[in-house]
Amino acid sequence: MSEFDAIFIGAGHNSLACAAHLALKGWKVALFERNDCIGGAVQTRECTLPGFRHDFGAMNLSLFAGSAFHKKYANELILAGLEFVPASDCFASVFPDGRWFGVSTDLNTTVSRISEFSEADADMWRRLVAEFPGEAEHLFRVLGSPMSLRALAGTAWNAWRKKKMGALDTVRLLLMSPRAWLTETFESEHVRATLAAWGMHLDFAPDIAGGAVFPYLESMANQSFGMVLGKGGADTMIGALETMVTAAGGKVLTSAEVKEIVTEGGRATGVRLASGEMHRARKAVVAGVAPGALPGKLLPEGSGDASFDRSAKAFRHAPGTMMIHLAMEDLPDWRAGAELRRFAYVHLAPSLDAMARTYQQAMSGMLPDEPVLVVGQPTAIDPSRAPEGKHVLWLQVRALPAEIRGDAAGQIEPAHWDDVKERYAERALDILERHAPGLRGKILGRAIFSPLDLERENPNLVGGDQICGSHHLSQNFLFRPVRGFAKWNTPVERLHLIGAATWPGCGVGAGSGFMLAQQLAGK
């Protein structure tokens, strides 16, 4: 039996960041990962053809680049091998009428594009960008602080001191739906739809309260700072974090599934692996898992708090996602314009109403007739991910049901995802082909992961939910993941929960891991 100060269940980026900080503070740490590869949803693989490196899940590393963890450990991460590649042409949307709109870091370029749709919207964009530094201070303070009444009160007082009644506008933005904010801010349907697509990344269809802040932050941050990808793949971040952990004396073990959290007297004292091995934890057990994995599973007898256990089991997951990875002879030839070949992301989400319909179809168990597509073009930014002259495409199909009850297009009979994923992937490729004629002729190889394939790869992606839990208001802020347990604590003493299911939610920013590490070891 081995003994450590802290044991981590899973080796996702939050766990690695937490372990790295603690190890550098002198803690003896060990991470146990069930798979043969660490990183959780942040991995890069040759899943189509040799030499073509595909990001399994997360592609955009901007949140990590701007995170508190990166700010503190930038030099250590660079020495450990972390490399970023900046993208100045960040995201765009194409539309059925042949037009497109995209956000690039050159303000005049973006404004010029907007003015083709609306001069009033162009003026509004300049105003929003000018006001963003002041607004971002308060929003990032909320997202970067522990979720407690004390922290919220401090943030509220700081906002009131600087903005007076204007602080209420910040609160209003946090409560608004994407449609409400976009329709009162912009007059162009094309501009609205381009920004609203970011809400679909985080389970916020246009009419869901609390979703406006995500299109706002993504668009303003991309305009102001640009976007970054990982050099050679998103796993550059994971490799650097692992190096930091091991260089500080920590252990990272793969193919080591934790089957049970051992408790004594209401306190977590260690873990038991599937192999039967026992390992003790002197100070903390940190679980990077979905909340439903605790009661009756990792905690066979429950947490001792029936209310917590009920809420953990009832934790709501977002609709699923299909991932389609393509090895390509060349980038798509976008019908709307060759300039689109330079963008990191191109969204195919034609309108607010279309996105709302797609989301509702998925929520009712139907295969959407026109799913939202997120087309990542990482080799437009980082050619090192493919053989010379070749490319990879990263295609997300959102939003999809975990269990298929029907097909909104009336073409696919209800069946298990294993039986229909190839046909549904063809529907997605048909949509892409309409906007990029000749695309299929450029495909050299492909790999398709249905929502259930994603869950098989990573049990935290329940039903293919890539964000590990809905971020709707009833399950966010003080309620993430469970009311009374938003500070990465559980009813079991010394057992902590981190990851996308906990505050501050999904995204590759290491927020929960770093804030818990500071809490455990002291700042």
Per-residue pLDDT of the chain (523 residues; tens, 9 = 90+): 799 999 999 999 999 999 999 999 999 999 999 999 999 999 999 999 999 999 999 999 999 999 999 999 999 999 999 999 999 999 999 999 999 999 999 999 999 999 999 999 999 999 999 999 988 888 888 888 888 877 777 776 666 666 666 678 888 999 999 999 999 999 999 999 999 999 999 999 999 999 999 999 999 999 999 999 999 999 999 999 999 999 999 999 999 999 999 999 999 999 999 999 999 999 999 999 999 999 999 999 999 999 999 999 999 999 999 999 999 999 999 999 999 999 999 999 999 999 999 999 999 999 999 999 999 999 999 999 999 999 999 999 999 999 999 999 999 999 999 999 999 999 999 999 999 999 999 999 999 999 999 999 999 999 999 999 999 999 999 999 999 999 999 999 999 999 999 999 999 999 999 999 999 998 6
Cα 483 to Cα 307: distance, rounded to the nearest angstrom: 10
Neighbours of 118 (CB within 10 A): 17
Distance of CA 521 to the CA centre of its chain: 27
Residues 6+ positions from 460 with CB-CB distance below 8 Å = 10, 12, 40, 41, 288, 289, 290, 293, 468, 499, 500, 501
- Does the CA dihedral 491-147-288-271 come out positive or negative? negative
**Domains, in order of start, for the chain:** 2-40+63-83+233-315+471-521 (3.50.50.60), 89-225 (no CATH), 319-457 (3.90.660)
The residue to which tokens 């790999």 are assigned: 447
Cα 355 to Cα 242: distance, rounded to the nearest angstrom: 38
Q: Contact, 346 vs 94, CB < 8 A?
A: yes
pLDDT at 522: 84
State the helix-helix crossing angle for 13-24 and 68-79, rounded to 10 degrees.
80
Tokens of 189: 């349907």
Distance of CA 66 to the CA centre of its chain: 15
Q: Contact, 410 vs 437, CB < 8 A?
A: no
CA distances from 180 to 135, 183, 192, 282 (A): 19, 6, 10, 50
Amino acid at 366: M
Q: Contact, 177 vs 473, CB < 8 A?
A: no
CA distances from 503 to 14, 178, 215, 326, 510 (A): 12, 21, 19, 33, 11
Cα 405 to Cα 513: distance, rounded to the nearest angstrom: 37
What does pTM read for this prediction? Answer: 0.96
DSSP label at residue 257: -
The residue to which tokens 């004594």 are assigned: 264
Instruction: Work out whether strand 345-348 and strand 372-376 pair parallel, antiparallel, or are unpaired.
Output: antiparallel
DSSP label at residue 12: B
